[in-house]
Amino acid sequence: MDDPRASPEAAHAGPRSAPATPASATSGVKNGSGLPLRPGHELPFVAPSSYLRPKPPSRTMSERSPSALDRDQMQGLRGIREFLKVRTSYDVLPLSFRLVVLDNDLLIKKSLNILIQNGIVSAPLWDSRNSTFAGLLTSTDYINVIQYYCQFPDEIDQVDQFRLSSLRDIERAIGVLPLETVSVHPMRPLYEACRRMLKTRARRIPLVDVDDETGREMVVSVITQYRILKFIAVNNEKHTILLKKPVRDIGLGTYTNLATSTMNSSVLDVIHLMVKHNISAVPIVDESNKVLNVFEAVDVIPCIKGGAYDELTSSVGDALSKRAEEFPGIYTCSEDDRLDAIFDTIRRSRVHRLIVVDDDNRLRGIISLSDILKYVLLFGEEEDDIRAG
């Protein structure tokens, strides 16, 4: 911001010089009164009053100097990062939790029923033949199965016989790059798990330990981006309250090329949008672009329960009506909302993403948990590296 004070040029005539008197070859340099000047006192000279005028910072320096708001923001981000480096992934786990691990030999069709019965949307996979961790089953895997069904409709009977161990074969058949199988040790710093999630674009990561006696792997649990951000919000409020810059100012979220759909669109159409744009949710809007709901990747699971792929032609409205009663709902915010308020919402509610709307509830953008985690971990990181060096 420009300095509001008047510049010296506006208040004064600027650094003044005494009028120069032409020097003659014989008399030497003289001052205004005609008396000779001693060496080093030649004109021009600066009027003493100019030393007393405060010089405003240049525009370049003013723009580079961080404001108090900027300094608080960076202090909050650095505090969160230090917090993540001293806490472990195991710390994120609740005192009591349930873990469902699926054997790789299980039919995909049966795995759907298990997820629905247990009210979960993902599960670690286990290779019982080799006694090793085999990856993570998520809604993306079921979307890949649906794509396979669409590309090879004559093989519906074969689809029903696919086992979880066939998921990689399905990816190759439809030309999808397999997701990297990642995991972290539960006692490693939480910061490490976050960086690995961002690198692989994973929304959840399994915690895998090794038995000291047998040397075999064992899955301890799975932590999600939501669980990590909630852990920060609950245990590090002294730093999250410093994040007072609005969403608009920090460029948080996606606001261009947004994929949307309507209540009357088919589930299959929305799935194709997710695959095309590599996204996990599609806002459902009306003819005025007002947000009505959001179709998420996990909404696909009940649509194909029991192998009922024909239901994919049903409308989005019908599919959303199958959601469980405990569905947390859709969370919205405006571009003027601050990040500290978003963390407060995450602390109190189960939030998976925020839909950015204007005052008329028209869609403006989407803020994913990945966006928040990426900003918290990476914004200004180069400056921190330089400072540390």
Residue 165 lies in a domain: yes
210: its two tokens: 């090794």
The answer to whether 369 and 203 are in contact (CB under 8 A) is yes
- pLDDT (0 to 100) of residue 234: 97
- pLDDT (0 to 100) of residue 383: 52
Residue 17 lies in a domain: no
Q: How confident is the model at residue 4 (pLDDT cuts 50, 70, 90)?
A: very low
pLDDT over 80 (residue 75): yes
- pLDDT (0 to 100) of residue 54: 52
The answer to whether 183 and 133 are in contact (CB under 8 A) is yes
Maximum CA extent, the chain: 114
pLDDT-wise least confident of 23-27, 73-77, 199-203, 280-284: 23-27
Q: Return all residues near 387 (Cβ < 8 A) that are at least 6 apart.
A: none
307: its two tokens: 């192998």
- pLDDT (0 to 100) of residue 374: 97
Residue 362 lies in a domain: yes
- pLDDT (0 to 100) of residue 66: 81
Q: 252-310 pLDDT, tens per residue? A: 999 999 999 999 999 999 999 999 999 999 999 999 999 999 999 999 998 888 777 87
Residue 25 lies in a domain: no
The answer to whether 160 and 343 are in contact (CB under 8 A) is no
pLDDT over 60 (residue 38): no
pLDDT over 70 (residue 382): no
CATH number at residue 300: 3.10.580.10
Q: Return all residues near 104 (Cβ < 8 A) that are at least 6 apart.
A: 125, 126, 127, 128, 134, 163, 164, 165
Instruction: Give the mean pLDDT of the chain.
Output: 84
Q: Are strands 102-103 and 123-127 parallel, antiparallel or unpaired?
A: parallel
Residue 58 lies in a domain: no
The answer to whether 291 and 284 are in contact (CB under 8 A) is yes
Q: 98-108 pLDDT, tens per residue? A: 999 999 999 99
The answer to whether 142 and 267 are in contact (CB under 8 A) is no
pLDDT over 90 (residue 56): no
| Greater model confidence, 6 or 221 | 221
pLDDT over 90 (residue 184): yes
Q: What backbone phi and psi angles, to 5 degrees, belong to 135?
A: 125, -170
Q: 125-140 pLDDT, tens per residue? A: 999 998 899 999 999 9
- pLDDT (0 to 100) of residue 139: 93
Residue 263 lies in a domain: yes
Give mean pLDDT, residues 80-108.
Answer: 95
Q: 320-366 pLDDT, tens per residue? A: 998 888 888 899 999 999 999 999 999 999 999 999 999 999 999 99
Q: What backbone phi and psi angles, to 5 degrees, belong to 39?
A: -55, 140
State CA 326 to chain mean position distance. Answer: 25
Q: How confident is the model at residue 13 (pLDDT cuts 50, 70, 90)?
A: very low
> How many domains are there within the chain?
1
The gap between the terminal CA atoms of the chain, to the nearest Å, is 30
State CA 151 to chain mean position distance. Answer: 33
The answer to whether 203 and 280 are in contact (CB under 8 A) is yes
Residue 157 lies in a domain: yes
pLDDT over 50 (residue 204): yes
Rounded to whole angstroms, the Cα distance separating 248 from 365 reads 11
Q: Per residue, what are the HEC states of the chain?
A: CCCCCCCHHHHCCCCCCCCCCCCECCCECECCCCCECCCCCCCCCCCHHHHHCCCCCCHHHHHHCCCHHHHHHHHHHHHHHHHHHHCEHHHHCCCCCCCCCEECCCEHHHHHHHHHHHCCCCEEEEECCCCEEEEEECHHHHHHHHHHHHHCHHHHHHHHCCEHHHHHHHHHHHCCCCCCCCCECCCCEHHHHHHHHHHHCCCEEEEEEECCCCCCEEEEEEEEHHHHHHHHHHHCHHHHCCCCCEHHHHCCCECCCCCCECCCCEHHHHHHHHHHHCCCEEEEECCCCEEEEEEEHHHHHHHCHHHCHHHHHCEHHHHHCCCCCCCCCCEEECCCCEHHHHHHHHHHCCCCEEEEECCCCEEEEEEEHHHHHHHHHHCCHHHHHHHHC
- pLDDT (0 to 100) of residue 335: 97
Residue 44 lies in a domain: no
Q: Residue 128 sits in which domain range?
A: 68-388
